[in-house]
Structure 1
Amino acid sequence: MQFKLSFLTGSLLAALTLTGCGSDSNESVTPNENTKTITVIDGYLTNAEVCVDKNNNKQCDDGESIGFTNEKGQLIVSEEQAAYPLLAKAVVGKTQDSDSIGYVANSYTMSASKNLDVITPFTTMAHNDNISFEELASQLNLDSKTISGDYIVDKATNEEAIKAHLIARSLTSALPEDLTLLNKEQITKVITAAQKTIEKHENNGTLNELDDVRVVIDEAGNIEEQQLVNNLHSYLTSKEAWFLGSMNQSYISDEGIQKAIYKADGSSEWFDKEGISSGTEPFKVQGNHFIEADGSKGDEFIFTSPNLALTVASGEGNDLLFWTSEKLDDSFTPEKLTPEQFANKTWFYVGDDSTTHNPDPMMAEMKFSPLDENGIGIVTISENGESFEITWQLKDVTTDFGSHNVLFLDFPEGDKDMAVMQVTNGNGLMLISDLNRDSELFNLFIDNKEQAETIIQKWVNAQE
């Protein structure tokens, strides 16, 4: 549905395309006795930009960038460069984190005092507050040696490092892109929530499960515990079946909902919209990608959560596909929507206005007010400085899926009204379908603007 607002503008697309471009490493520095290797860690960050903060203003100024990290999160720097504080910038759509499949969900910057071997959320806190690791460790109830080094390596023999890694990956959701804007209140809020998660798992004897979660803070300041996906083969084979479809109206009309089954032995079987099998074939994955028979990279997973994933297609076209373990067949039952999912919350709506196979993505910010005593609230819809207000409410309806409720959005033109059914959700994304449309089409509600922009960027630029 087009909200009478502009599509993704050329200026925004240009900004998304240019953000964070760079090589995998700093080729200007040759390893020798006068260099050192810096490791950038949340998990290990690939393609994070490293800068020498010569004026110590916590910003990457012109001429201060020295390179991009490799797949191990490493960058070789000279002794002269290491004698200054260093910054590491993680950028949505560009930087990958070894903790999960896909890209970092928000852009952020980390820092480290001079002559350190690592740049982490812990070095950032110590450098920002000008305190020692001993003082910081006391605040976090962790060991100072653990938080001052590579806690990922230490996890093999040190239980403290498992806790440290959870706190570190959680802190990145509260770190800003501009460190001069760091919000200590948000940092404290995330640390407190992460420590409660640690305590819960300690009491349950499940500390080993901390590697599968993170605690994040969204744009509204709400805390959420999210599940991580860090191995694509295990992810695909862990489900009985995947149901998938295109976010593009033409493709979904042609192909419908398909089903795929992946088995631990490396075989896969696909079924078309009529349920006809294409036969069993081997599959192979590497990192975020399927690997084609000729060894080239195929479709890329750009977002993952326990029940929902997004891929961009390789080859011809710029197709964005959703994957869900929800059974999108005759047995499907929509999840119940609640007022808490919307009241006082901001969602970013992402959809495709194209009627051809060429995508025409649009994004709109939707701010939901609380419901009044009549169960009706206001939604402010905005993009590029333009905005208007409509009403929202949850309505009980009876559809082919049985009796359930939908999010009803009342637009000024009656034929534009939306009846939003939740299909599934996960880690800040909600896959939705508008029951008021004559044709089948799926869209997204996303609770993070940068995540929404990243998905659009990957969608539009899939072939570049």
Structure 2
Amino acid sequence: MKKTKVFLAIATALTLTACGGGSDDSASASAPADDPVTTKEYKAIDGYLVNADIYVDRNENKIADEDEKLEQVTGTNGEFSVEEKDTKYPIIIKAIAGVTSDSDKEGKIDKDFTFVADSGIDIISPFSTMAYKTDKTLEELQAELGLPSGYINSDYVAKKQVDESKSDAAIIHALARALTERIANGFESSKLIESAKNIKKSIDEDVNNGKDLDESVYDISLKERLISEVFTVIHTNKSEFEEEGVFASVTFNETEVSLENNGEKETNSIEYYENSFKIDNDPLDYVVHISSDWMLIKTTQKELSLFIEKDKTEKLNEYVKLTESDFAGKTFYHFWDDSTSDTPDPDFVTFKFAQEGNKVTILENEEEFGPLDWKITSDGDLAISGINDDGTEFIISKTAASELDTNFIIFNHGRSINDTIKRPYIMTENKELADTIFKEWNSKTDVIK
């Protein structure tokens, strides 16, 4: 029988009478609970980002402020939910090295990166990030990059499993993987757009050649990494450092490189190769190591220089205090130019710190020294006794430039005076990384690479 409004009213009245009337406190106790919170579902995707932090940019300052962080993290398919009241704000996803997983890769990611999407977009991806940072709609971005429609704001990983979507979704996914790598390496928005166009051309070529896009890798080329960047260049060879000092600005462009120092400017032609470049008629310069904010470059004569992005250079004059726990029980690998002339002398040493007793053993060329005493000074520096021939302590002053790449400690022997840049030194706990860099530094340099 259909219940009429009259019937419902009578039934309600009888219920209240049975409970002793509507004025009793027990009536409010039986009132219906508040409506459940309404949420909207989102996904963080390159491949699926798992265990990434989520922020709602409520003040719209484009920063993931701590008070905007949600208690949840992204799920096994990158999924998460946001309360309806927060859907009017941009969403920021922070992928954390050693914590976040990407379904495209094994293990945890090795570099932090951030994705963002404007309000109304529920797939947080490299595409939403590019659109947001260049003030474009996803449709405008899609058209500019020549991408198939209906994919950049969708779960393209899932769509790859559907026959009629597989080809187009695979193109989007391959491009997303490549762009994520560039975002993690600090590419600016305008540079990302140009990179995306070039990567898309390579993807199209691979499609035409019948290649499996899931097996294709679109690494960052040396030219792509350097172009439009401005670096400060510092010699690690003592003689060259004392003679030439620091090149304040080295700017790489499509066909030229500009060097500016002490008010003098010089422009030369440049040719880029896979792992090297050639300026005018000079011998080749080779990449020994490349990170998101700095590089190690060697000349044909094996002179090694630190290239650090100009806006990060001040970190070489900032210091981070060390503690005993930074070294106790750990092993570090240190490579440096031990020459006092302009002829480089690459050297390598291992520091093995005991777990207790503030003792360190040093291995160099299969010869062992120590154990020697070490301590942390009142300035927060590491001081090792017994290394220097003149009896002074060997001082490691960790610079804030180390924060640019957590694989390394970039340090000075003592602290700078008047913010003058000192000759930089480098060590790492990663033996494989140290061995690879040292081997590359010492490799033959008579061919284009």
**Interval containing the TM-score (normalised by the shorter chain):** 0.3 to 0.5
Where relative contact order (Cα < 8 A, 6+ residues apart) is larger, the structure is: 1
